[in-house]
């Protein structure tokens, strides 16, 4: 039996994501990971590292976009939160239909948390932990 971990699991682990379980199908990736930041809420930079792993895999044709569902654990039976990404958001980002901030905001808005989280650019480096305000859309833009 080989001890080599490859594919998405290996890539996630290489990016500092402590994968506890992963299931990959053509339409869904379900990942459970143990956070390195067991505070009250899910760490956005850690989410960003996970997301960047999937984006990198798409860019080098190692993975076709699918829905990603993540469960974040503080420890074995203590769920810190959950989040997801729709396959379409990956496609929109790859095709430059949305930028990194819009992509990040979509994902942040899926966080299952007791308090609302501020929108941050998950794809930004760890040095920039500032909140990003997105401009309000006009009524014309909202109706599109």
Contact call for residues 55 and 44 (beta carbons, < 8 A): no
pLDDT at 59 over 70: yes
Q: Is 2 contained in some domain?
A: no
Give the model's pLDDT for residue 122: 57
Q: Is 117 contained in some domain?
A: yes
Give the model's pLDDT for residue 63: 96
pLDDT at 9 over 60: yes
Q: Is 141 contained in some domain?
A: no
pLDDT averaged over the chain?
83
Return the axis-axis angle of helices 44-59 and 100-108, rounded to nearest 10°. 120
pLDDT (mean) for 72-90: 95
The first and second tokens of residue 35, run together, are 């956070």
| Higher per-residue pLDDT: 88 or 120 | 88
Q: Is 1 contained in some domain?
A: no
Number of domains forming the structure of the chain: 1
Convert the pLDDT of each residue in 33-44 to its tens digit. 999 999 999 999
Q: Which of 3-12, 64-73, 82-91 has the lowest mean pLDDT?
A: 3-12
Q: Is 34 contained in some domain?
A: yes
Q: Which of 46-50, 82-86, 121-125 has the lowest mean pLDDT?
A: 121-125
pLDDT (mean) for 7-30: 96
Q: Is 144 contained in some domain?
A: no
Sheet containing 18-24, strands listed edge to edge, beginning at the edge strand earlier in sequence: 18-24, 28-34, 67-75, 78-85
The first and second tokens of residue 2, run together, are 């080989």
Q: Where are the beta strands (DSSP E) in 64-128?
A: 67-75, 78-85
Q: What is the pTM of this model?
A: 0.75
Under the banding of pLDDT at 50, 70 and 90, the label for residue 124 is: low
- Parent domain of 70: 7-136
């Amino acid at each position: 039996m080989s001890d080599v971990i490859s594919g998405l699991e290996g890539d996630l682990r290489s990016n500092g994501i402590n994968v506890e379980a992963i299931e990959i199908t053509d339409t869904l990736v379900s990942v459970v990971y143990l956070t390195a930041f067991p505070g009250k809420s899910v760490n956005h930079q850690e989410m960003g590292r996970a997301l960047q792993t999937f984006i990198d895999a798409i860019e080098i044709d190692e993975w076709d976009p699918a829905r990603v569902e993540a469960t974040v654990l503080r420890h074995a039976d203590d769920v810190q939160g959950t989040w997801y990404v729709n396959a379409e958001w990956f496609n929109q980002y790859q095709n430059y239909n949305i930028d990194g901030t819009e992509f990040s905001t979509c994902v942040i808005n899926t966080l299952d948390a007791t308090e609302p989280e501020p929108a941050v650019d998950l794809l930004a480096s760890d040095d920039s932990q500032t909140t990003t305000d997105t401009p309000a859309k006009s009524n014309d833009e909202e109706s599109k």
